[in-house]
Amino acid sequence: MNADLSLAGRTAVVTGAGAGLGRAEALALAARGANVVVNDVGTAADDVAAEITKEGGQATAVRGDVGDWSMGDTLVSAAVDTYGSLDVLVNNAGVLRDKMLFNLAESDWDDVVRVHLKGHAAVSRAAAAHWRAASKAAGGPVYGRVVNTSSEAFLFGSPGQPNYSAAKAGIVALTLSTAAGLGRYGVRANAICPRARTAMTEATFAEGTAPGGLDALAPERVGTFVGYLASPAAEKISGQVFVVYGDMVALMAAPTVEQKFTAQDGVFSVEEFGEQLTPYFAERDPHRTFAAYSVGALDTTETSRR
């Protein structure tokens, strides 16, 4: 095994790892040699931990809801107490409560933001405190990798998912803060926007086959990339957002300034806004908003080589 891609001796925490993407990520990390703390709200966490152990890996299950702030400390302690370190955090846990905005109940909003965004923050905070203390004790940078799970919904603003879209946008901002705030301690943080067929998305993505025996939307494809981001080889990658599915990984660019409007006399009046902005937007394509609809053009998976 190539040393810079190995996770031997490393310990990873994966949330929402009882099924779907989280399970695939946990298995991928274990396959690279990592000890894995498998988190989920139910007994599926035990099943995945047993699956890893059966394959010769090291894993322990910790049941619990990442939406509870204290679960972050619980998971970090499980990693450190059981295996002696925490090196990789994969925040994956989430739920769906899809509704149009006019049908959105308070609980629909709270449930999604709590598990996705607060859950990411809770475990990230605990991991950050651990890495900061470890770095101070070591007198220099330590090893830390954070992989957060966003979604293309934050790029588009899914009309039937205002709660999910907002949470996923927040996760990207959290990722940038994590990368900026923890870089000095040796931590690298990135976000992925995966497309995968799981129990949560089976109504969205139909079955499909692809060369190589893996479904184009198989979660194992995402797991492979997470295994890479967790490795020493990804040392220079931080504060990035990737769209991941099928046979490709797309690195997203940061937003740019399209147009700057300046007041002629230093202070805008409403009339001057009308003179400058109204004509600028008069003939504009209604789809040309801050939403990154062009990302949809990536949807050519497995066709480029045919």
Q: Which residues are catalytic?
A: 151, 164, 168
3-class SS letters over the chain: CCHHHCCCCCEEEECCCCCHHHHHHHHHHHHCCCEEEEEECCCHHHHHHHHHHHCCCCEEEEECCCCCCCHHHHHHHHHHHHHCCCCEEEECCCCCCCCCHHHCCHHHHHHHHHHHHHHHHHHHHHHHHHHHHHHHHHCCCCCEEEEEECCCHHHHCCCCCHHHHHHHHHHHHHHHHHHHHHHHHCEEEEEEEECCCCCCCCCCCCCCCCCCCCCCCCHHHHHHHHHHHCCHHHCCCCCEEEEEECCEEEECCCCCCCCCCCCCCCCCCHHHHHHHHHHHHCCCCCCCCCCCHHHHHHCCCCCCCC
Judge whether 5 and 228 are in contact, CB under 8 Å.
Answer: yes
